[in-house]
Amino acid sequence: MNKIFDLFLTFFKIGAFTFGGGYAMVPLIKEDIVEKKGWLSDEEMLDMIAIAESTPGVIAVNSATFVGYKIAGFWGSFFATLGVIIPSFIIILLISLFFEDFLEIEVIANLFRGIRAGVTVLILNAGLKFYRQIPRTAYSYFLIALAFGLSVFVEFRYLSLLLILFGFLLGLIGQVLKNKKEGSK
């Protein structure tokens, strides 16, 4: 039961103190889950992010579910997911009660502009941390440049989904070729 409560509190903190959701949460998840708790290795963290992004749902919820299940099975995933959802639910509920008046307050409008800037930095930081862990090959650099170029210069509603599927297919093909090469030795 102690692990389950620890999962709940850890993901409650992640949900409560990370603004911007998604990739803005990745540095805090990495710090708590990999560096402090040791629940995942760096490699498992990368795999978790890939799985969380390629399955339906929000990355924070998918990550909490993944980590919770790995650490404490069904109830671990249930309470980790609950922990990450509750803060957002409460904040959105409170904001929705006063939304129209809320955004007219100049301080609040400026606060949201500042939060957007901070979230951009957090996402960039997460990208740089992932970059440090990828293999330094021409193939990797080509894929990074291709994904970056497409995401910056192409306007397409489902581009993110296509990039994820494209990356999945390239990874699958690479793994099959690697297994064939190792099998022929």
Q: What is the pLDDT of residues 9-53, one digit of tens each?
A: 999 998 888 766 667 788 888 888 999 999 999 888 888 888 888
Q: What is the pLDDT of residue 21?
A: 63
Residues near 149 by Cβ (< 8 Å), separated by ≥ 6?
Answer: none
Q: What is the pLDDT of residue 36?
A: 92
User: What average pLDDT does this structure show over 160-177?
Assistant: 85
Q: How far apart (Å, rounded) are the C-alpha atoms in residues 12 and 104?
A: 30
Q: What is the pLDDT of residue 144?
A: 84
Q: Are the beta carbons of 28 and 41 closer than 8 angstroms? A: no
pLDDT tens by residue, 77-134: 999 999 999 998 898 888 788 777 777 888 888 887 888 888 888 888 888 888 888 8
Q: Are the beta carbons of 48 and 119 closer than 8 angstroms? A: no
User: What average pLDDT does this structure show over 64-71?
Assistant: 93
pTM: 0.58
E strand or H helix that includes residue 47: helix 42-54
Query: Shortest CA distance to 60 belongs to which of 95, 28, 34, 91?
Result: 28
